[in-house]
Chain A
Amino acid sequence: MTPLALLVTLLGLSTVAFWIGKSHSLATVGGKSGVRSLHSLPGHYGLLAAAWCALPALVVIGLWLAFQDAILVKLVTAHLPESVRALSPAQFSLVLNDVRNVVAGNVPASSVDANSAAAAAEYLHLRSISRVALTALALSIGVLAIIFVRRRIVPEMRARNQVERIVEWLLLGCSTFAIFTTIGIVASVLFEALRFFAQVSPWEFLTGTVWSPQTAIRADQVGSSGAFGAVPLFAGTLLISAIAMVVAVPTGLFAAVYLAEYAHPKFRTWTKPFLEILAGVPTVVYGFFAALTVGPALRGWGEGMGLSVASESALAAGLVMGIMIIPFVSSLADDMITAVPQSLRDGAYALGATKSETIRQVVFRAALPGIVGGVLLAVSRAIGETMIVVMAAGLAANLTANPLEAVTTVTVQIVTLLVGDQEFDSPKTLAAFALGLVLFVATLALNVLALHIVRKYREQYE
């Protein structure tokens, strides 16, 4: 039975288990009239039986399938002739590749050499045995579980509480899913980054000022050996983020102050959706806007004023990124300002403060920690933003503070390093993971700090 058919069968079996559990619980108390002497509703006994039938069998199936391939490959390769097993790892993996292609039906067995064809045939044979074994095991576990639970069903059995416990475990499993995924991502980035740092020293990576990741792929190629000083990337990222924040923080903040304190409710209901639309525009669309409209426009104006502006400039990318972040800043600041209790405003008004004095000196002061937290979150978004800078900031790793020149960022370099065919043992490709690690650590630190500030601020007024 294929794994899919097995799962469907198991589902059917557990449905049967549900009915057995339900009807047996009623039978123990002499039919529907005795339902009150049952500890739980008949349905709970049914659910319990179904869970016992399905869950252990599912765990067995999951584990079996996870290890099946590795074990089968081990068995198959053990039977390959000595000459094949003595091949270098790279060539050996080519042989294995042939075997897999035949197994998957991508190529006919006749097109590969006899050894591989035999191995593929053996693999298929072993796999069919494995499937039969798995089917027998899983279904018998299911049936045994039904028999076991059916014998345990007595009127005093606390099926309701046990079902509750099972549900709790299922919920726990779902919630830890995110944790394990995060750990997995971090681990994969970390291990690749460590491989990179085995070839390039961390000191050189973090302090070097020349970024030129092109390395010769073959020994006879003419090419530099690569320079992995990431400082120009960090500088470019910071420059563009700074430009974005210069645009987004004042605009977003003042928009929030106006909307929260001055705006007529009608104006508010009309403006808010527009800000939300701004937040909903895909970043790739902002990218077009930056690369096709803002960049050339800036170059034109620069020429008019006698400045030389690159058509892909930090300024264009930063400005558009700032526009993208405005709604983010303004909605966070709006939350913080409306969270300031009315009693503080009343206190200031009662002392004879004007509206702007109240807002500047009392409301804003009270909301400041929350606003700082929001701005830090915005910075971490700006640092991690990719699409706009890929399209508008350029690729040249210039170490410059001039916003009119092209710069490149950490995210842009990760994209360019990993686009296209890559070999995963050259420092050029692995550098992407090191950059990813730096980016991850930076944004994580910013987020943790910002969320801490925001939470502390919220507690103050709740």
Chain B
Amino acid sequence: MERVQTEPVAIPKPAARTSQVLLVTDRDKTVGTITVPDPVFKCRDVNVHYGDKHAIKNVSIEIARNQVLAMIGPSGCGKSTFLRCLNRMNDTIPSAVVTGSITLDDQDIHDKRQDVVQLRARVGMVFQKPNPFPKSIYENVAYGPRIHGLAGDRVELDEIVHTSLQRAGLWEEVKDRLNQPGTSLSGGQQQRLCIARTIAVNPEVILMDEPCSALDPIATARIEDLMEELRQSYAICIVTHSMQQAARVSQRTAYFHLGDLIEVGETDRIFTNPRHKLTEDYITGRFG
């Protein structure tokens, strides 16, 4: 618990702009650099429609390895919808139509040859509310490796469960009760169990959809520490409503507004020197 840091990072207020460049107000073009060197995901002109609703409008962005990308924006801005495009979770919603190109390691994820089951094994996801399966702690973590045949025998499976729980920082708390139901854990532990379950499949990217919104500050701090460690091996995309959290955990930040990707950039730069009027309004708390 010594690494727990609960005090919020102070967000530097943008200095009073007197003579600087005028802020951009055009919503059609994304401000900032959307490209990164050696991207894992490349998205170009992604559009999502839910029936008549145009939820994501021409979003282009690249996602870097070994980095945390934070997606922020007011409720209903489409950040979760965009996240769900990356592992094609929108396929489970009958009315959703996704267009545009999304490539994972230069392979189109909407290609006919792309097996959606394989895609989701490579792109893990952690949800807003912890959703452990109605199984034991061990079986929760072992579920992914089992269905993908990642372990040759019981010894290997034990090993995967052990390392996954350890990397999720949960091993010490549950090692004596692996056979108890996953739902018997506290909220924060359940969320770390879900993270362990995700990394047990050894994905390349981990998507997190407001993973801390149902947790208390201490559990939140543990998950944030965990993200810092996990980014050594994975690319991480996190949707969050907390700007403090985005500032603490991410290296890059993307600001969404009503389905448009307004601004992307280094987290430090976005929070100190936003270039778009809407970004500035949001991070200074004028709306949101």
Residue positions of A touching B, CB distance < 8 A: 341, 343-354, 357, 361-362, 365-366, 460
Contacts and interface: CB of A to CB of B under 8 A. Distances in A.
A348 B133 contact: yes
B76 interface: no
Contact of B131 (A346, A354, A361, A460): A346
Contacts of B243: none
A351 B89 contact: no
A362 B134 CA distance: 7
A351 B124 contact: yes
Contacts of A350: 87, 89, 120, 124-125, 127, 198
Contacts of B9: none
A349 B118 contact: no
B147 A351 contact: yes
Contacts of A351: 120-121, 124, 143-144, 147, 197-198, 201
A346 B121 CA distance: 13
Given A349-B92, A350-B89, A352-B121, A341 B143 contact: no
A367 to B, nearest CB: 9
A346 B198 contact: no
B57 interface: no
A348 B143 CA distance: 9
Interface of B: 87, 89, 92, 117-121, 124-125, 127, 129, 131-135, 143-144, 147-148, 183, 194, 197-198, 201
Given A348-B133, A365-B133, A365-B134, A353 B147 contact: yes
A341 B132 CA distance: 11
The B interface is mostly helix, strand or loop, or mixed, namely helix
Nearest to B145: A351
A341 B147 contact: no
Closest 10 CB pairs of A and B: A352-B121, A350-B125, A352-B120, A343-B131, A347-B131, A351-B144, A366-B134, A352-B117, A365-B134, A362-B133
Contacts of B129: 343
B155 to A, nearest CB: 22
Contacts of B183: 460
B120 A346 contact: no
For B133, B144, B198, the residue with the greatest tally of chain A CB atoms inside 10 Å of its CB is B133
Contact of B89 (A341, A349, A354): A349
Contacts of B124: 350-351
A347 B124 CA distance: 10
B163 to A, nearest CB: 17
A365 B183 CA distance: 13
A58 B126 CA distance: 67
A343 B118 CA distance: 20
A344 B119 CA distance: 19
Contacts of B118: 352
B133 A352 contact: no
A355 to B, nearest CB: 9
For A347, A351, A460, the residue with the greatest tally of chain B CB atoms inside 10 Å of its CB is A351
Contacts of A347: 127, 131-133, 194, 197
For B87, B125, B131, B132, the residue with the greatest tally of chain A CB atoms inside 10 Å of its CB is B131
Contacts of A361: 133, 143, 147
B164 to A, nearest CB: 12
For B89, B117, B118, B129, the residue with the greatest tally of chain A CB atoms inside 10 Å of its CB is B117
Nearest to A345: B92
A349 B133 CA distance: 12
A340 to B, nearest CB: 9
Nearest to A357: B147
B147 to A, nearest CB: 5
A349 B183 CA distance: 19
A351 B200 CA distance: 9
Contacts of B194: 347
A366 B89 CA distance: 21
A351 B197 CA distance: 8
A349 to B, nearest CB: 6
B127 A346 contact: yes
Given A341-B131, A361-B147, 20 more contacts: A343-B127, A343-B131, A344-B133, A344-B134, A346-B125, A346-B127, A346-B131, A347-B127, A348-B143, A349-B89, A350-B120, A350-B124, A351-B144, A351-B147, A352-B119, A352-B121, A353-B117, A354-B117, A362-B133, A365-B133
Contacts of B198: 350-351
B201 A352 contact: yes
14 contacts: A343-B131, A346-B89, A346-B92, A346-B125, A346-B131, A348-B143, A350-B89, A351-B120, A351-B147, A352-B144, A353-B147, A362-B134, A365-B134, A366-B133
A357 B198 CA distance: 17
A352 B92 CA distance: 13
Contacts of A343: 127, 129, 131
A361 B129 CA distance: 20
Contacts of B117: 352-354
B203 to A, nearest CB: 9
